[in-house]
Structure 1
């Protein structure tokens, strides 16, 4: 979050993880049953942290309250996105080369400090500086947390493990959505204070509960069945990735040499860009229609509420089906639902579009994170997750800069329908890569 998972893998050595026992049939939470302790620690910390996800959805409105005109809003939003280009890369590298736990703590403490700096910043320039620091420190956490998940369970249960953390994100976000609109109407300082406090709360959970030597956790699960995860490429895909036996000393070269991942990440990036429009262009649309910040809180509650209610059951049911077809159908729902934002002009219409893309988000579950974990060599999980998080950072940066610029200068309709076309192209590309991804993942099982 060398506090790795169950047992830190040495260069060239197989990483040993555990497969927990399945839950009881008919139990809607059975997909999440039996996970080892580190996963539940990350789950608890994520819930706490996401309850404080208040500033992001209301940042556009906060800037307006400070007298920042719409023409200057992209500077602060762009800086917020730019930090995503730094944090994931640093976090992934530190997670592999240093300590997952220390990486998480550094990011969480830095996030709390940056929240205070952003609120106190007196002008656009200092707001931008605080924003880039905030996003850089915040995004350091995800690669280390994701590597901890990948370390703690074998390929057979990673999809459910990543879905569990997605569920945690939305439990926290649902609470944040209820709080956000109310607090924003009574003073934006409350949003920043709670955001900083929950980051500190997650840091305390990690510092106190996440084991310093995660191999101790393996001994605490006597009923678990060991699963060996290959640390080097199988012979059938060696042409796609070279020198994986020396990944510990190759930095991000191990990711860049992986042809399959080089093709996959840009396609995922397109989809993440479309999803990130819900953070940047969606609030602009609500503000353009003359609606209050409480409407943004409403759509956040609809999104998070659906996921909180449906994620456990959906994960349990959809785990029976092949990963790639489920992901493609879910991605279609997300792209279509977000594009339909272009025809929404009332609270009810905005809520209806959110329902569509939220159902897609439920179906996606933890598939992308689990897929990246399955494609990664055991001793490069942090860097593969860092590359995935960096891709998300690039997508978010472009959504916050290019997305808002296109929205204001070209027009909302062009942005939303272009997003639909790009999403369709990405879905076709990922479908073409499906057999190669399945083959690689099977080779690592």
Structure 2
């Protein structure tokens, strides 16, 4: 059941129990989201540095290209709950494989499995959220999901820094345990929504239904570039912190600053901005993220990194739930899993580009080149997204009339 309305932020009070269950499970899962943010430091502790690090990070990014595509199809084909369970249990097993891997290539293989299995979950969970609420409430449902991510991350950022100092094996144990606990929540609390067989067969089982949607194909690359810029906060920020001679605990503290800001501000921002056109808010927030990420290039102390994190965190608060909600509203009912698979694949592509291209530019060219690129690309795509506002509103009005 949803929490009492007396204790629930106003933006989320009318959301159904399915949304709150996914929210709670997400908090549990993200409490153990520890290995990936500290992977650079773990690899260094195993003697993996320089170019070999990029192989493992690249494999981690590549898995995020496989998982969403598979997860979207499975969510429409076999159901939301089974897809989530496959991903959670598979990712938990892969955590153990990565910790025990004896060399760079086995580490890369395990990292690929972690991200592939873990990213299978998102399309199914997002489709389940879209099934549970109407188009007017989807932005808030996805914002609540993001709020859960950051509540978990707020604790995990501090916890991760402490556990890493005690021994990296603790990171892996907590990560795997949290995934298995989320799988238990899915098993006990979530029910598979009923879908008509004729709808499941409509347009086949592949991604042709998405590829024929011209508006979706315009939005995906624009969102993808914005997500690439945001992904640099997870990928390039720890490299910058390390190169400034600061400890892994500093990066953990920066992650906690971000998470605490989002936890504190997001419910209010979601309510305050509810009446503003979504793409206007999305564009403004994306530009703010780009500026904040670019400020990382000027930082070389805890204070400097804190300023940059505060700026892009404000942008994250502003855009919460909008991109996912906009894309969910484009999807026909029978293809929600595949639309969310395409959106999650775009997320995966952004992270893959950050882990490979971003790291390459940072290490092989100059860090300044990466930060300037982030600023220009982020602000340009934010402006381009705003130009689609009329077409998206017209599409939404047509769908409501139908």
User: What is the aligned partner in structure 2 of residue 3 from structure 1?
Assistant: none
Unaligned runs of 5+ in 1: 1-19, 216-230, 232-243
Query: Partners in 2 of 1:441 and 1:89 — Cα distance?
Result: 25
Query: Partners in 1 of 2:272 and 2:194 — Cα distance?
Result: 31
User: What is the aligned partner in structure 1 of residue 376 from structure 2?
Assistant: 421
Query: Partners in 2 of 1:405 and 1:316 — Cα distance?
Result: 40
User: What is the aligned partner in structure 2 of residue 256 from structure 1?
Assistant: 211
User: What is the aligned partner in structure 1 of residue 299 from structure 2?
Assistant: 344
Alignment of 1:269-418 (within 5 A): 269-418=224-373
CA contact (8 A) 2:28 2:182 kept: yes
Shift of 1:70: 1.8
Structure 2 CA distance for partners of 1:250 and 1:117, relative to 1, 3 Å: closer
Query: Partners in 2 of 1:444 and 1:152 — Cα distance?
Result: 18
Query: Partners in 1 of 2:338 and 2:90 — Cα distance?
Result: 21
User: What is the aligned partner in structure 2 of residue 92 from structure 1?
Assistant: 72
Shift of 1:114: 0.5
Q: Note the alpha carbon deviations across 1:293-331, whole angstroms, 9 max, x for none.
A: 001111100000000001111111111211111111111
User: What is the aligned partner in structure 2 of residue 155 from structure 1?
Assistant: 135
Q: Note the alpha carbon deviations across 1:328-370, whole angstroms, 9 max, x for none.
A: 1111111110111000111111011000000010011100111
Choose the corresponding residue for 1:135, options 115, 126, 130: 115
CA contact (8 A) 1:335 1:423 kept: yes
Q: Note the alpha carbon deviations across 1:117-155, whole angstroms, 9 max, x for none.
A: 011111100000000000000000000000011010101
* 1:171 maps to 2:171: no
User: What is the aligned partner in structure 1 of residue 187 from structure 2?
Assistant: 207
Query: Partners in 2 of 1:320 and 1:293 — Cα distance?
Result: 41
Shift of 1:34: 2.3
Query: Partners in 1 of 2:24 and 2:8 — Cα distance?
Result: 19
CA contact (8 A) 1:373 1:381 kept: yes
CA contact (8 A) 1:58 1:293 kept: yes
Deviates most, 420-429 or 337-346: 420-429
Shift of 1:245: 10
User: What is the aligned partner in structure 2 of residue 57 from structure 1?
Assistant: 37
Shift of 1:248: 4.4
* 1:124 maps to 2:104: yes
Unaligned runs of 5+ in 2: none
Query: Partners in 1 of 2:278 and 2:210 — Cα distance?
Result: 22
Shift of 1:175: 0.7
Secondary structure of 2:33's counterpart equals: coil
Query: Partners in 2 of 1:431 and 1:367 — Cα distance?
Result: 13
Query: Partners in 1 of 2:345 and 2:249 — Cα distance?
Result: 31
Runs of 4+ in structure 1 over 3 Å off? 212-215, 244-248
CA contact (8 A) 1:167 1:311 kept: yes
Choose the corresponding residue for 1:433, options 361, 383, 388: 388
Q: Note the alpha carbon deviations across 1:268-317, whole angstroms, 9 max, x for none.
A: 11011111111111110011111000011111000000000011111111
CA contact (8 A) 1:28 1:312 kept: no
* 1:80 maps to 2:94: no
User: What is the aligned partner in structure 2 of residue 268 from structure 1?
Assistant: 223
Secondary structure of 1:57's counterpart equals: coil
Secondary structure of 1:68's counterpart equals: coil
* 1:45 maps to 2:11: no
Shift of 1:83: 0.3
Shift of 1:424: 1.7
User: What is the aligned partner in structure 2 of residue 36 from structure 1?
Assistant: 16
Shift of 1:64: 0.3
RMSD of aligned alpha carbons: 1.7
